[in-house]
Amino acid sequence: MEQPYASRRERAQTRLQERGADGAVAYPGPNLQYFTGFRGEPVDRFHALYLPAEGEATLVTPDGYHTQARTNASVEAFRTVPGNDPAAVAGALAELFGDGDRLLVDDDALHALTGPLYAELGAESVESAAPLFRALRRRKDESEVTALKRSAAVADEVSEAVRALGAEAVGLTEAELATEIRAELHTRGARSVAFDVVVGSGPNGADPALRFSDREIRASEPVVVDFGCFLDGYASDQTRTVVFDGDPPARFPDVHEAVLAALDAGVDAVEPGATAGDVDAAVRETLADRGYGDRFTHPTGHGVGLASHEDLSIAEGEETTLEAGMVFSVEPGVYFEGEFGVRIEDLVVVTEDGCERLNDSPRTWEPL
Ligand code: ZN
Ligand code: ZN
């Protein structure tokens, strides 16, 4: 497959020129990976990509990590600096920047390079690169959609494996099931979890912010299971609500059906030209029609890509227009405090004439 990195850098360069900026710097993490294929983590290795508005991109690397960078990064030029010294890397970046006026610097996360860079260049010539990088990463190219589908497939497989536990899951603590899920993800090639696994049994499932606890999973109670992994740098994220054994609470089947209908309505509303708010409204109205509107207490979804939560927000009144290539979650939930919660989540990619789901594992609550 043709490497997408050069064309991503070209698109960035066009935008730099449009903005009248002379260059941009990307740090290790999602942005460096986006432009070079090399994630460069952990963050205490001070690689940095210098991308000028015109001309060749240069990856500045500490000499100790030079081989690793050369093997993994697809970029026109490399420059090595001695040691692993942020000031030396900042010096090299300043040299590449030369007598430019405006440099856009990666600030998605605090980074040890930022201080030295400001010191080298002066605060007046440095600006955030976040708006530019986010805009570029929002629409996924073909190779990214392929990677996201692979990551989603791993999450789906693990979801099915977990649900196949059936009655065996009863008596495990939430933490133990979370450990099992992490192990299953790693077995299938995941590098890490995309965010900490959520196992919310019974009343714990009613708190969408909770991850897991030492509470034992019991028969006849709904369990919200929400997780994803990083595979080749790309995140997955899906949720199913399961009853591992026994009969669920009386009102649960109706709630589950309503959440499923809300998910379907949300997915049906996804097409180029619709807004993020339209998708949220479709979900919210479906739940309201069924009497659960006031129990859906969070936004409908979020962007997913090289990070598990990207800045695209599928929420009430969001006016962002959906475009082909955007990938995000649709994740309605209904929560009964002290009793149980139900959330079902799929990722979708916007296509030219609608959307495609990235997840296809069973959405029923019964054990598989
Ligand atoms: Zn999730
Ligand atoms: Zn999510």
**What is the value of pTM for the model shown?**
0.95
Q: Is the pLDDT of residue 1 over 90?
A: no
- Identify the nearest ligand to the CA of 343 by its number: 1
State the average pLDDT over residues 95-121: 88
315 alpha carbon to ligand 2 midpoint, in Å? 13
Q: Name the residue among 155, 317, 296, 332 with its Cα closest to residue 237.
A: 155
User: Which residue type, as a one-letter code, is found at position 237?
Assistant: D
347 alpha carbon to ligand 1 midpoint, in Å? 9
177 alpha carbon to ligand 1 midpoint, in Å? 16
Structure tokens at 251: 């009102």
Q: Name the residue among 58, 51, 234 with its Cα closest to residue 142.
A: 234
- Per-residue confidence (pLDDT) for residue 358, from 0 to 100: 98
Contact 329, 301 (CB under 8 A): yes
- Give the tens place of pLDDT for each residue, 117-164: 999 998 889 999 999 999 999 999 999 999 999 999 999 999 999 999
Q: How would residue 111 be classed by pLDDT, with cut points 50, 70 and 90? A: confident
Name residue, tokens 């996360």: 109
8 alpha carbon to ligand 1 midpoint, in Å? 28
357 alpha carbon to ligand 1 midpoint, in Å? 14
- Identify the nearest ligand to the CA of 227 by its number: 1
Contact 185, 193 (CB under 8 A): yes
318 alpha carbon to ligand 1 midpoint, in Å? 20
- Give the tens place of pLDDT for each residue, 226-283: 999 999 999 999 999 999 999 999 999 999 999 999 999 999 999 999 999 999 999 9
Query: Which of the pair, 169 or 3, is modelled with greater confidence?
Result: 169
- Give the tens place of pLDDT for each residue, 291-322: 999 999 999 999 999 999 999 999 999 999 99
Contact 231, 151 (CB under 8 A): yes
Average pLDDT of the chain to the nearest whole number: 95
271 alpha carbon to ligand 2 midpoint, in Å? 19
- Identify the nearest ligand to the CA of 302 by its number: 2
Structure tokens at 100: 């430019």
Structure tokens at 5: 């990195």
